[in-house]
Amino acid sequence: MNEYLVDNNDLLEDDTIFALSSGGSAAQATAVAIIRISGTQAPAILQSLTTPGTPLPKPRYAALRKLYYKEQPLDQALVLYFPGPHSFTGEDVVELHCHGSRAVVQGVLEAISDSSKLARYAEAGEFTQRAWRNGKMDVLQVEALADLLTADTNSQRLQALQQLEGKLSETYQSWREKLIAGLAHAEAVIDFGDDERFGDDDFENPEVGRRLQQESVWGGVIDQMQSLRKEMEVQLSDQRRGELVREGVRISILGPPNAGKSSLFNVLAQRDAAIVSDTPGTTRDVLELTLNLGGVKCILQDTAGVRTETDDTIEREGMKRAFAAASQADLIVSMIDSTDYQAGITILDRVLTECIHTVGADDDDYDDTGVADVSSLTPGSVLLVRNKYDLLSNGSSSSLYPATTDDLAGIFDISCVTQEGIDHFLDNLTSLVLSRVSGAATSSSFQSSGEGALITRARHRQHVTCAVDALKRFDFLSRQGTIAVDMAAEELRLAASELGRITGAVDVEDVLDKLFTDFCIGK
């Protein structure tokens, strides 16, 4: 539950609550404002705002009502009544669709507050909290609603809707039911199956004895658990598609000073987001902006120029931050100056070496320029962009293909000044982004690809990974004969518990505390 609700005895779970549920606030004028009331007093509050004797609207049908407060007219509104449990929260719910002026909204909220001492303003996320508490949503669906409310792109909207419909919950619940069935079999053997067990001394070949013990104790459970584990491992090997859609694909522009990184940053942003100067090293920190590429959220990063060496302390810090940003990136745009190609290739070789072939960094991993080794990427995550193509003589770039670029995602000649090659580069970057979130190359816009990603948050991935680890231990223990039945069963119990934490079947109060407080008031 929301921590505030637990600590404050004045806020009771059976209180009737109300809030402005449409966008904005009571201080902002809108065309229509929706005020939601939930709880046992909701019907009575509605009747107190209308003329005496006015009946409640037919459930789930809109009705036009004049609203009054102390015999003074407030507004003429559309009113809907949802009797519990057939409502969003599972309680009696009333919605008032009023005109959205500040005077109307504030007047209606004050009237509701005064009409019943049992009604109070809702806390952030409290309507959704009640929906979860009353079994209208599980934790995955609560997370999906939060994602839907903050969706910026088409892909985020589609993924959130799919999760909100319960498709992910059904898969996780199916997995958990298989684990519980296997656990029930194991517990039955533990409780009642002692007399049916074989001993190693019953067979001349101990290995045959253990195999028959295994078949006697577990039957087909081992094969079922192996199949289930493979299903989970397939989802874990999805290249973080769901998380990328939800959080955004991080794209870092990396390269030597004055290669045009900030110019490309501004071209893609379609505004002057970064300072551009002929003086090398103008950018010293990491700048970020959000792009929508093919319906997918992308976070584009402009970084400080990278040199082979420098004595400037601030520049060294900028270089360290540039490589740190690359370590967290999903794609790297390695940018070089076509007129100073060799210097650019030296930096590219360094990017390929440090960003692809190393696996992490600590305080001892910084070189003499203060740059740390960073997380591994694949060459297919790097795009080589050769800027200032307009300054080259015709055909002079045809031989500028170093051997180290064979496996890159692409090589592009552009000019940020004339815009030559920008469209071609952007089309290919968009296709690469789409391939990362869909698992295969797609067209120029995001399309739902069947079932979509099952894992959409790091929390899900952590619990599925723990469940797979438990099943691996089960697979080993289940082959040790009757001596390890209890321990093998415990691993099935642990795996089921991990999956239960994803949907909320097992205690997830700490997750919900954070989740509900992230909602806006009125949702």
**DSSP-assigned beta bridge partners for residue 290:** 299
**For residue 366, what is the DSSP state?**
B
Question: pLDDT tens digits, residue range 201-215?
Answer: 544 545 544 555 555
CA separation for the pair 115, 109 (Å, rounded): 10
CA separation for the pair 523, 77 (Å, rounded): 21
Structural domains of the chain, with CATH: 2-133 (3.30.1360.120), 167-238+455-504 (1.20.120.430), 247-437 (3.40.50.300)
Contact 83, 60 (CB under 8 A): no
What was the pLDDT predicted at 512?
61
Question: pLDDT tens digits, residue range 138-162?
Answer: 999 999 999 999 899 999 999 999 9
CA separation for the pair 22, 32 (Å, rounded): 8
Query: Across 341-451, where does the E strand assignment appear?
Result: 382-387, 410-413
For 142-151, 183-192, 358-367, which range has the lowest pLDDT when averaged over its residues? Answer: 358-367
CA separation for the pair 30, 99 (Å, rounded): 8
CA separation for the pair 123, 75 (Å, rounded): 25
Question: pLDDT tens digits, residue range 32-69?
Answer: 999 999 999 999 999 999 999 899 999 999 999 999 99
CA separation for the pair 33, 26 (Å, rounded): 9
For 114-123, 224-233, 356-365, which range has the lowest pLDDT when averaged over its residues? Answer: 356-365
Global pTM? Answer: 0.77
Asked whether the CA dihedral 478, 480, 482, 483 is positive or negative, the reply is negative
Average pLDDT over residues 252-281: 77
Average pLDDT over residues 226-240: 91
For 100-114, 133-147, 208-222, 231-245, which range has the lowest pLDDT when averaged over its residues? Answer: 208-222
For 345-349, 440-444, 475-479, which range has the lowest pLDDT when averaged over its residues? Answer: 440-444
Nearest Cα to Cα of residue 368 among 323, 322, 310: 310
What was the pLDDT predicted at 216?
58
Tell me whether strands 119-121 and 296-302 are parallel, antiparallel or unpaired.
unpaired
Higher pLDDT, 158 or 308: 158
Asked whether the CA dihedral 208, 214, 217, 222 is positive or negative, the reply is negative
Q: Does residue 199 register a pLDDT over 80? A: no
Q: Does residue 186 register a pLDDT over 70? A: yes
